[in-house]
């Protein structure tokens, strides 16, 4: 190979390398905005979930109280014959 062939081979190799590795500019701002919007929705749902868990605890306490009242009402009175 002569010097011109080596230079052309190098140029061709570099051209192919840059064509393969060329990255298109992508506007990510739209995706970032969507991610932020979804993150806000997740945070809102977490707050709603927390309040629902509190309500669940309150209802479980009431149910337990009602169960005790029912058990006491169903017990036969002591000393009654």
Is residue 56 domain-resident? yes
> pTM of the entire structure?
0.53
Is residue 80 domain-resident? no
Is residue 37 domain-resident? yes
Q: Which domain holds residue 46?
A: 31-72
Is residue 68 domain-resident? yes
Is residue 77 domain-resident? no
Structural domain count, the chain: 1
Residue 9 CB partners (closer than 8 Å, separation 6+): 1
Q: How far apart are alpha carbons 19 and 22 in whole angstroms?
A: 5
Q: Quick: pLDDT tens for 29-42.
A: 889 999 999 999 99
Q: Quick: pLDDT tens for 46-61.
A: 999 999 999 999 999 9
Is residue 16 domain-resident? no
């Amino acid at each position: 190979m002569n010097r011109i062939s080596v230079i052309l081979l190098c140029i061709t190799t570099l051209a192919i390398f840059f064509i393969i590795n060329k990255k298109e500019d992508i506007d990510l701002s739209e995706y970032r905005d969507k991610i932020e919007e979804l993150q806000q929705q997740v945070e809102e749902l977490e707050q709603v979930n927390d309040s629902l868990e509190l309500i669940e605890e309150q209802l479980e306490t009431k149910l337990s109280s009602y169960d005790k009242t029912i058990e006491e009402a169903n017990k036969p009175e002591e000393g009654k014959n």
